[in-house]
Structure 1
């Protein structure tokens, strides 16, 4: 095995696959992409609705869980993270959203130079092949396919009418000029009905290049540092430890849990904590592992009178849907089953949406069923997601063993404002379901139930959207871990490129933002001038 490369990228997830493609296309001599998981060659990765069977599957997941939290009734939450080519982009729900433009303008105001919405919009365009075609807000020549969900069989029309009757707005494009309102869902699925993970969109085409190599089943255990310069990485593969050298840069793209963990294992992090674990301190960086942010959510459920997506899960219908998808790339299993997405403000004085609603025409525990067999009852579900939580958590080392899982404390619901936002989102859903035609389609609200039990319901049922960010935050202040070009402070030749660098979590599903970060980072790494910002 070759032991020296120009660039070593740790993590073949949403960001790592983008970097592997862009750095290898530039003519550099050699790029190595290291991935702890394996190939995404199971057919379920390609079928969009297959994520219901691959998400949190131990074969493709890191198996992380949060620390038990008294604020969540002592619960520990599962924290699914993709451990496979494409990372979480291979196992997520594929929803494509950017968030509000002010989210990124807020990054710039926090000291992240070059990351305002006007400056990053050209990178969103570069990465897309949008069904909308090319324009100010979208591109049509990028690696990543973005298509709409056909909501005609997913109760989209009655939900839309009830949303409007409740006094809420609509939007033709939540990633365009109007970033508030109800809209059909967009997903990273190509026109052939195949999931467009970064492994498929970016990595697979690039693997044809002789200057790119991917090393699967190898977990990075530390960054090799000499004279405050990153010169390579140590990996564990098949029980052996191997050192690999980088002539130019080492780039960490392990995500908001693994990137801070690897920095701390390498001696970059809070000095007191590292010393307690016997890890020699290279850079005292108190911000490493701090500022963990996540989107909390609760599910609301309603008993439906006579219909839901459950009808499509009858065994014979589901089998035909899989066959139709294989042959034509169409049908019930060829996309997401989201009826629509709504971005709303729970208070009129807010400048941007604080709640995201995701409408699902099915019960959360839906199962395949057989003709003439017992069928589950029909249920409609709504995800109530808080977009801008004040609470911040931490990622810390559990031990000095690099194969030990990190200690992840989400610290959710630590402020009254976070409770208030979620309560406001629940009230908005009730307002919508009180309108026709949804009012006539449901028999009763199943959960949360009575208003008196609302806070207990939130504590006992709060989950996360799997959007962790912020643990290697970028900025120019002393506590920032990386600068605005994503270079780790105090070390040369080392960058972090993934969701961990985001100063705040964008107000939407974050996969699009992660890919955008990697696209812009690839230009920074190569020393290319940034794409011209929009006026």
Structure 2
């Protein structure tokens, strides 16, 4: 029997189903966990996904990333609270709502961050999560274009593709960086600092999401049930033991029971939201929402971290190759060729190169990222005399890798269909504001260097007149956004703000774990998709190893807190 892709008309209200495991969220981590657990035919697994199938026509094409990102039919449609240090703007929050989650709509950049990021996790109490501990799971998930090595996997589900860099603009950029004393790298997983290009999670010219690469191969398994358009609304308990999940599917209220464990993989917004809806979180906030407190865990929804980014743009000398390539007749031929072969411009992303670099030479690891694009962010297909294009622009992004600012996620109400409140608190510290100013000035200096200055000319934004700290701060407030890498709202560790232990078990209850980017103690200094998949792989291995009754000493503290809850 084929795996059920359950729609509301295939399930009846009030019907209770029995499984060993229930995984909530079919995104970058959850899809991995469900696929791995269901490898054992004796284990029944239910995977709940609030979105639908990953069949949007733009999903497969890497080049369509910018257009896909804002499509409401595959996005949760969240916005932030007014960002105090960003002129009180409410900023869009892009999160995938489909099988594969954000891996089905993201930019496919496949980096892990600095190895010392994971060593820092272990130092903060996440025992078993040092780089040497997690490296086997990075290798297990990867099918590198380089082949297998000590740092790369050769036969994992997620294929990676090399980014083409054989163009005059990239050559000029790398030579300018070299002359300014920056290292060049062919592999950010081997040499983290320097200029180069990331690997991309692309398989034969098409997006390699966790849905395509993990779930689709598992669809013939009778023991894996995937329920789409099924939004979890509450974790069900008997005493302190998680026993099931209530979910809404096309207006019908359904329940499913788990004989072993429940795993929340909704990401940095939806996992804390579901915990709080289930009575696990900051007691005062839950009471304000009219929710009975089951466990007072003050860290749920706190410690939200993001990668803040600011764009600059420059006027090139002459037309850019990318602008010429997206003329209507040319891009139409390219798309046809791509559909037939998986090759050509649509199989890539408009990236010239990127860099991880230090704001000060005495730092242990890079604290800034730079991205260089041969186009404007709002570039569009054009044709002479009929459709006006955006014009040739060279764009850059300056991204803070480990911001000091912390935000939060809170409930809007006790209604599970209400969107959560999200506050990034971008630039909430003077250290972050100073670092962003440094990055913009660094970018100007780099692009003024030879030979790149022969191809790139006047600065368009923020513009040559923006020189003082006040001028740059004003521009930053007006334009700052993020890389859409939210983490850390269900922090793993042993401190008072920790939500899960190093086995990913939620403190204060049994048989409930969280496994997604929300468990990161500190955001990684890279892109978060590959680390999220790694978390899924490691979580699945933990679950397969069987339940553990051992708890760190911190559990005794949380037991006391639980006893104090009225």
Determine if the TM-score, normalized by the shorter chain, exceeds 0.5.
yes
Q: Which residue of 2 aligns with 1:99?
A: 113
Count of aligned pairs between the two proteins = 528
Q: Which residue of 1 aligns with 2:352?
A: 339
1:108 Cα deviation after fit: 0.3
1:53 Cα deviation after fit: 2.2
Q: Which residue of 1 aligns with 2:342?
A: 329
Say whether residues 1:262 and 2:262 are aligned partners: no
The equivalent position to 2:536 in structure 1, one of 513, 518, 522, is 518
1:440 Cα deviation after fit: 1.4
1:399 Cα deviation after fit: 0.4
Say whether residues 1:491 and 2:509 are aligned partners: yes
**Contact 2:371–2:398 under 8 Å retained in 1:** yes
SS in 2 for 1:371: coil
1:154 Cα deviation after fit: 7.4
Where structure 2 has 5 or more consecutive residues not aligned to the other structure, the ranges are 1-10, 548-566
Comparing 368-377 and 356-365, the one that deviates more: 368-377
Q: Which residue of 2 aligns with 1:364?
A: 377
CA shift digits 1:130-162 (9 cap, x unpaired):
011111110101000011111224721111111
The equivalent position to 2:441 in structure 1, one of 403, 427, 437, is 427
Q: Which residue of 1 aligns with 2:196?
A: 183
Q: Which residue of 1 aligns with 2:261?
A: 249
Q: Which residue of 2 aligns with 1:230?
A: 242
2-side partners of 1:375 and 1:36: how far apart?
37
Where structure 1 has 5 or more consecutive residues not aligned to the other structure, the ranges are 530-535
2-side partners of 1:317 and 1:230: how far apart?
56
Comparing 516-525 and 435-444, the one that deviates more: 435-444
**Contact 1:67–1:409 under 8 Å retained in 2:** yes
1-side partners of 2:408 and 2:385: how far apart?
51
After superposition, residues 497-512 of structure 1 pair within 5 angstroms as: 497-512=515-530
After superposition, residues 46-195 of structure 1 pair within 5 angstroms as: 46-153=60-167, 155-176=169-190, 178-190=191-203, 192-195=204-207
CA shift digits 1:283-331 (9 cap, x unpaired):
0100000000000000010011213211111001110111010011110
Say whether residues 1:451 and 2:467 are aligned partners: yes
CA shift digits 1:457-504 (9 cap, x unpaired):
111110010000000000122321000000001111100000000001
**Contact 1:413–1:419 under 8 Å retained in 2:** yes
Alpha carbon RMSD of aligned pairs, Å? 1.4
Q: Which residue of 2 aligns with 1:311?
A: 324
SS in 1 for 2:347: coil
**Contact 1:97–1:512 under 8 Å retained in 2:** yes
1-side partners of 2:384 and 2:336: how far apart?
18
Q: Which residue of 1 aligns with 2:556?
A: none
SS in 2 for 1:424: helix
2-side partners of 1:281 and 1:377: how far apart?
56
TM-score, length basis structure 2? 0.91
1-side partners of 2:229 and 2:389: how far apart?
41
